[in-house]
Structure 1
Amino acid sequence: MIDIDPVTLIVSAICMGAFIAPLAYQNFKVKSSESLLQKSFLEVAQQNGIQPEIQERWRNHYQLGLDPKCKKLIYHRYGAYPSQSIIDLSGISKITLDEKNHMVQVKKEKRVIIDYLALQFHYKDPNHPTKSLEIYDGELFSDLAGERVLAGNWKTLLEKTIHS
């Protein structure tokens, strides 16, 4: 049988607790932040009579929700410059992707760097200006994390909703 010194056991327990405590605290903080973001998103949706069946949040900075029954889209951008938008899809004629990029050349290799990506809504009424919903901003984030695919998926989903 192995004898364990009580002092060693206590020191080990304290070291493990000191290692786990910051991780547990960070996890708690992230979950409470996400809960507040979701609560604020659903409050705005409820105030406008929208019940989003399809929702997506990415980078804890953007969130989209779609209510296909009433054909309304709700958008939230959190952070330093928050914004909220509600778009009635029954007044939209088409949706396009607005992408701004620049080319970088390193030796013989050329790369396209995306600076900005947004869904752009064109209204049936020609007097109504187009509306853009930011999906990615290169000033805030250093790399893409699937936003191009995400934007394409939402564009397809919204086009189906418009034409149904």
Structure 2
Amino acid sequence: MFDIEPVTIVLSLLLFGAFTAPFVYHSSKKKKKTKALESKLNELAKAQGANLSLTEIWRNYYVFGLDPAKNCLIYFQDTPEFSPIVLDLNDFKKVGVIRKNLESKNESSGRQILDYLALEFTKKSGGNSIQLEFYNGDLFSDLMGETLLADKWLEILQKQLK
């Protein structure tokens, strides 16, 4: 069997700890941020008298909550200048997805790059529509499943509007 010197064991443990510490720190920081966003969403729901059964937090930036019984949707972005949006879904007749793409500079590929993704709510009264952003290419350089998430919420909200 192997004889491992105590110095080697201590050095190995120190290196292992130094390597894993940033990952543990980042994970705990992300959990705290998510809890803070959940708490803020619950406070907003409580103020509206809503009981959210469906919630979604992504990128630790965008937050969605839905109370199907009250037909209430709560949305906010985690920035100081953004005010939370509370929608009474009874005031809207339809919802759709808006996708804005950038054309690739290379003409041979003809590739389109998603630059903006949002859900658009059309009012029954015919006023201005409301857009709830899911992805903004100016803020984030990559997609993390936002297209699937937007499609998921589109399906949920279309059922809710019927």
Query: Normalization by structure 2: what TM-score?
Result: 0.90
Aligned to 1:150: 149
- Aligned mates of 1:46, 1:61 — CA distance in 2: 21
- Residue 28 of structure 1, CA deviation: 1.2
SS in structure 2 opposite 1:109? coil
- Residue 108 of structure 1, CA deviation: 1.5
Q: What RMSD, in angstroms, separates the aligned Cα atoms of the two structures? A: 1.7
- Aligned mates of 1:68, 1:129 — CA distance in 2: 24
Aligned to 2:159: 160
Aligned to 1:50: 50
- Aligned mates of 1:20, 1:131 — CA distance in 2: 44
- Residue 142 of structure 1, CA deviation: 1.4
Q: Residues 4-153 of structure 1 correspond to what in structure 2 (within 5 A)? A: 4-79=4-79, 81-126=81-126, 128-153=127-152
- Aligned mates of 1:107, 1:155 — CA distance in 2: 33
- Residue 29 of structure 1, CA deviation: 1.1
SS in structure 2 opposite 1:140? coil
Determine which structure has the larger strand proportion and give its number. 1
- Residue 41 of structure 1, CA deviation: 1.1
Structure 1 unmatched ranges of 5 or more = none
Could you tell me the percent identity over the aligned residues? 38
8 Å CA contact retained: 2:37, 2:63 = no
Structure 2 unmatched ranges of 5 or more = none
- Aligned mates of 1:18, 1:149 — CA distance in 2: 37
8 Å CA contact retained: 2:116, 2:136 = yes
Query: Normalization by structure 1: what TM-score?
Result: 0.89
Number of residue pairs the alignment of both structures matches? 162
